Amino acid sequence: MHLVYRAGPIVLKRIDQDETIAQGTEEIAWVASVLNLLRSERFRVPHVLVAASGDWIVEGWYAQEWVEGERDTSSSRWPKLIAFCKVFHEALKEIPRPPFLDRRTDPWSAADHIAWGELPPVCYPELQIPVEKLLTLLRPIALASQLIHGDFTGNVLFAEHLPPAVIDFSPYWRPAEFALAVVVVDALVWGGADASILDMVNDVRDIAQMLVRAELRRLFEIDRHHRQRGRETLGQVRSHLDTVDLLCELARA
């Protein structure tokens, strides 16, 4: 989790502890090149701000403009969030692949690579049963990858009379359908949604396979945070067990 402070119209953020200044500068400069030019009447994105020195990062900190809005925590938010996720990712379709993705080693990136079969699925025993259940369901897919926001669910702000704002952009190169699946999995595990949320995405191509991979990524994030940072995260797996069973039923249907 990043340290974040607001100073009037500016939000200051510290780069992730797993990144060097060089790695952080590369990613922040790339995010700035995308977000500072992304224009739409259907959404807002905060611009990344350059320091007076001309640097993107100063002593481990970077700045973005503050955008008005609040997270919607109502139980009725999911149709709106899913529809907006589709809108936002349609706007990202033509943006080229970021060059730094293969060099990232943070827990989130490692978990993503594992979920997509690009690293071996090694995990602690506490995660073994749900992980194995999901791994047996994986099938090849033929969806095109593109730039996505890999952590969309909690990073959308709504304000009256303004289009939604997307914050804390987390770039990944996966199918847009995967970004939707992450939202659905997050809704089931953390957001209080029930199985009816699956009806909102039943027209999405290969959604069952995307949901399996999304849940695998969240499980391996638990593993990797414990493995890389020594955090006591393994107990979190219990909150995922019902969702794992639900996705197993869906994938086998």
pLDDT at 26 over 90: no
Same domain, 40 and 116: no
Residues in contact with 240: Cβ distance below 8 Å, sequence separation at least 6, in sequence order? 130, 189, 215, 218, 219
Is residue 14 domain-shared with residue 111, that is, in the same domain? no
Residue 96, in any domain of the structure: yes
Tokens read off for 132 = 């194995």
Residues 52 and 94 in one domain: no
The mean pLDDT of the chain is 92
Q: How confident is the model at residue 21 (pLDDT cuts 50, 70, 90)?
A: low
Closest CA to 9 of 68, 66, 70, 69: 66
Residue 59 lies in a domain: yes
**140 and 49 assigned to the same domain:** no
Domain boundary among 32, 65, 98: 65
Least confident range from 9-13, 182-186, 227-231, 239-243: namely 227-231
What are the tens digits of pLDDT across the range 236-253?
Answer: 999 999 999 999 999 887
Position with higher pLDDT, 234 vs 129: 129
| Number of independent structural domains in the chain | 2
Residues 102 and 38 in one domain: no
Q: Which domain holds residue 17?
A: 4-65
Residue 110 and residue 191 in one domain? yes
Buried b (16+ CB within 10 A) or exposed e, 147-159: bbbbbbbeebbbe
Q: Domain containing 125 — which CATH number? A: 3.90.1200
**37 found inside a domain:** yes
User: Is 81 inside any structural domain?
Assistant: no
42 & 90 share domain: no
Looking at the fold, whether 134 and 225 belong to one and the same domain comes out as yes
Same-domain check for residues 141 and 246? yes
- Is residue 109, in this structure, part of any structural domain at all? yes
Asked, for residue 38, whether it belongs to a domain, the answer is yes
Alpha-carbon gap, residue 129 to 149, rounded angstroms? 29
Residue 14: CB atoms within 10 A of its CB come to 16
Q: Are both 236 and 181 inside the same structural domain?
A: yes
The residue among 102 and 221 whose pLDDT is bigger is 221
Q: Is residue 75 in a domain?
A: no
Instruction: Determine the straight-line distance between the first and last CA of the chain, rounded to whole angstroms.
Output: 37
Are 12 and 103 part of one and the same domain? no
Other CB atoms within a 10 A radius of the CB of residue 251 amount to 18
What does DSSP assign to residue 58?
B
Cα 140–Cα 142–Cα 145 angle in degrees, nearest 5 = 115
d(CA 229, CA 17): 10
Dihedral sign for Cα atoms in the order 44, 46, 48, 49: positive
Q: Do residues 195 and 225 share a domain?
A: yes
Would you tell me the crossing angle of helices 176-189 and 207-229 to the nearest 10 degrees?
Answer: 70
Is 146 among the domain residues? yes
0.85 exceeded by the pTM?
yes
SS3 61: strand
Q: Which of 65, 95, 110 is the last residue of a domain?
A: 65
